[in-house]
Amino acid sequence: MQSRSARILIYSHDTFGLGHLRRSRVIAQALVAHRPEISILIVAGSPVVGSFSFPPQVDFIRVPGVVKLGADSYAPSNPGLSIEDLTEIRSAIIKKTAEIFDPDIFLVDKEPLGMRGEVEESLDYLKTTGCRLVLGLRDIMDEPSRLIEEWTRKNAFAAVEDRYDDIWIYGLPEICDPLEGIGVSQSVRDKAVFTGYLPRADEPSGALYDPILIEEDPYVLVTTGGGGDGARLVDWVLKAYESDPTIAPRAKIVLGPFMETGYAADFQTRAAKLDKVDLITFVASIEPLIEQAVGLVAMGGYNTFCEILSFDKRAVIVPRRQPRLEQFIRASRAEELGLLTMLCDDEAHDPAVMARAIKALPGQQKPQSTEIPGLLGGVDTIRRLVDQALAEGRTRRGGGTDRVPEDGFRVSRTAAS
């Protein structure tokens, strides 16, 4: 029987922002660069997934989208559907994809059972095929008491305990341990591996990359990620430039694809009146902008933090504190380690505070001057973990014998050549 190459299915449920998708894309790119014979399929919920480029060995399926209303509250993007009907559709697509694609590794990003439990049936099915079930967690999930409440409500503790073979934590315990203080068992602890953060390359990520004119003048890049909750940061930066014409360097502000249209229109009007401010609605290929910037002013999500470390950029982080404390915890700890500067997003939004921070940014130390072993080791670690999992082969769980797919593929064959 003819063998086939290894397959990895990645679940990236993005409902608000770009975090899950961009993290999944980085992992997929790193794996196919390491093992060119591998095939990767990403199940994505992001409406802008088509704006990003992928290698030939990586493809995606976009499930119908949702709008995030709160920490765990969603509504269908299509108003003609109920959230229950939409979840059932998404769950069925994911399950059928899992059955046909027949992955050797299923990597689930952040949500142990997916949005509203939509990957539970897929996990149970793939467990019977011998597929390796992996939960990928970012370095920080939330403040422990909030995470306990959330995971209890979602039945996530049982999923982490019983369904998953491995847990990959995309960070280091020196920054944060997302499992600490939430009462997981030793068996869950034994599944967990800290990979280090995921380094970012300087190649453009956009599928239709259109280079943005980057002047020779130094500039600070202001980025809000997806932009859905970035209006307060953009407003604060604009107030600083409006109130203090002596600020240097200039600012390039990227609003993000999910910035509310009313805010975006107001910001465009205000930015047009400022000689030192350029405003960009959205750019999938943000890497060239980061690479050339003297520093960043950002909200401090996981991907932005990885970019700051990878490009060794000075940064001022203004973390959000609702609906999760994730960004605040990350920024606080990173500031303690000398990796960046943090400003608290208070109600006052004093323009002078932001103006001083931007003026001081070029004089900050760069994050890589703080030597932390393995800080950006995420890609290398994940490659090793995948090599090990594929070399071990499939092990049927739940009774029965090892399963060999109809095309005769068994993962314990010779590793990538």
Q: What is the pLDDT of residues 121-148, one digit of tens each?
A: 999 999 999 999 999 999 999 899 999 9
Would you place residue 203 in the very low, low, confident or very high pLDDT band (cuts 50, 70, 90)?
low
Q: Is the pLDDT of residue 1 over 80?
A: no
7-199+376-392 and 219-369 have identical folds: yes
Residues 6 or more apart whose CB falls under 8 angstroms from that of 6 comprise 35, 37, 38, 39, 104, 105, 390, 411
Return the structure tokens found at 21. Answer: 């998708």
pLDDT value at position 284? 73
Parallel, antiparallel, or unpaired for β 192-194 and 74-76?
unpaired
Q: How far is 193 from 36, CA to CA, in rounded Å?
A: 25
Would you place residue 200 in the very low, low, confident or very high pLDDT band (cuts 50, 70, 90)?
confident
pLDDT value at position 71? 57
pLDDT value at position 413? 26
Rounded percentage of the chain residues whose pLDDT exceeds 70: 86
| Amino acid code (one letter) for 392 | E
Would you place residue 225 in the very low, low, confident or very high pLDDT band (cuts 50, 70, 90)?
confident
Compute the average pLDDT of residues 90-100: 96
Tens-digit pLDDT profile for residues 357-379 = 999 999 999 999 998 999 999 99
CB 378 within 8 A of CB 199: yes
Domain residue ranges of the chain, discontinuous segments joined by +: 7-199+376-392, 219-369
CA geometry: angle 179, 181, 186, nearest 5 deg? 60
C-alpha of 247 from chain center = 32
Compute the average pLDDT of residues 311-337: 91
Residue bearing the bigger pLDDT, 45 or 136: 136
DSSP state of 334: H
pLDDT value at position 414? 27
Compute the average pLDDT of residues 264-271: 96
Q: Does domain 7-199+376-392 have CATH number 3.30.70.1230?
A: no
Rounded percentage of the chain residues whose pLDDT exceeds 90: 65
What is the phi/psi pair of residue 30, to 5°? -65, -35
pLDDT value at position 300? 87
DSSP code per residue over 251-305: EEEE--TTS-HHHHHHHHHHHHT-TTEEEES--S--HHHHHH-SEEEE---HHHH
pLDDT value at position 47? 77
Return the structure tokens found at 114. Answer: 């997916």
pLDDT value at position 409? 27
**pTM listed for this prediction:** 0.86
pLDDT value at position 103? 98
- For domain 219-369, the CATH class is alpha beta
Q: Is the pLDDT of residue 116 over 50?
A: yes
Mean pLDDT for all residues in the chain: 86
Angstrom CA distances, 244 to 241, 274, 295, 308, stand at 5, 11, 19, 26
pLDDT value at position 415? 30
Tens-digit pLDDT profile for residues 49-78 = 777 888 999 999 999 877 666 556 667 667
Query: Closest Cα to residue 137, out of 155, 151, 123?
Result: 151
Would you place residue 29 in the very low, low, confident or very high pLDDT band (cuts 50, 70, 90)?
very high
What is the separation, in whole angstroms, between the first and last Cα of the chain? 20
Q: Which residues pair with 40 in a beta bridge?
A: 8, 58
Q: Which residues pair with 133 in a beta bridge?
A: 106
- Classify burial at 389, counting beta carbons within 10 Å of its beta carbon; exposed 0-12, middle 13-18, buried 19 or more: buried
pLDDT value at position 16? 52
pLDDT value at position 124? 97
C-alpha of 207 from chain center = 18
Compute the average pLDDT of residues 31-44: 96
